[in-house]
Chains A and B, each alone.
Chain A
């Protein structure tokens, strides 16, 4: 079974620039998550999709972050404009509808904003 694919693996940008991350989940997984993991902290949920609808985006900084999951499959997360404090690993994960079987994570995108 193919895993969760994410790209790019690494990205370095200057503050105020824009950046986009891509995620392709496990085939058949209805639920997709984007997490932000800042160094020294646990992963924090940014947004949760179920199929192509948003279930939870309460912790997404909507003034600069946006995400979409067109057709209920792959997803993109965008930051525009980036700030220094956005430097983090952005993890995508997917799960079945119940989530009790656990999540499958991608290997993440490490973003550095300079």
Chain B
């Protein structure tokens, strides 16, 4: 059974704060690590798909890093805005097939 763990479970920050979340996953048989952003009543939106150790990806104010040897990924949000409020999910796969998700980090950004 693959175990993907995310921390913290929830986070409340003020507008303008920078924040980061952690995703840890099994380091053996790594294939890909995905980050999704899920707003209530909407579809989960793909943020990043990361495959190489040391990968660093950026999309606007959001960036992510990947360490496959030690089995962790960080997601950073710079200058959080209220519209960043969502659940951030990471998911891990050992092959080009099913994703195993963590429980998510619920972010609330207060104006």
Do B43 and A48 have beta carbons less than 8 Å apart? no
Interface size on A, residues (CB 8 A): 27
Do B93 and A105 have beta carbons less than 8 Å apart? no
Which residues of chain B are within 8 angstroms of A31 by Cβ–Cβ distance?
97
Beyond A102-B34, A107-B43, 17 additional pairs, beta carbon < 8 A: A40-B103, A42-B4, A42-B102, A43-B101, A55-B97, A56-B98, A99-B96, A99-B99, A100-B32, A102-B49, A103-B46, A103-B99, A104-B46, A105-B36, A106-B43, A107-B42, A108-B43
Interface residues of B (CB under 8 A from A): 4, 6, 31-32, 34, 36, 41-46, 49, 51, 89, 91, 93, 96-104
Q: How far is the CB of B10 from chain A (nearest CB, A)?
A: 10
Interface residues of A (CB under 8 A from B): 3-4, 31, 33, 35, 40-45, 48, 55-56, 91, 97-108
Which residue of chain A has the shortest Cβ distance to B98 in the bound complex?
A45
Which residue of chain B has the shortest Cβ distance to A33 in the bound complex?
B98
Which residues of chain A are within 8 angstroms of B42 by Cβ–Cβ distance?
107
Q: How far is the CB of B91 from chain A (nearest CB, A)?
A: 8
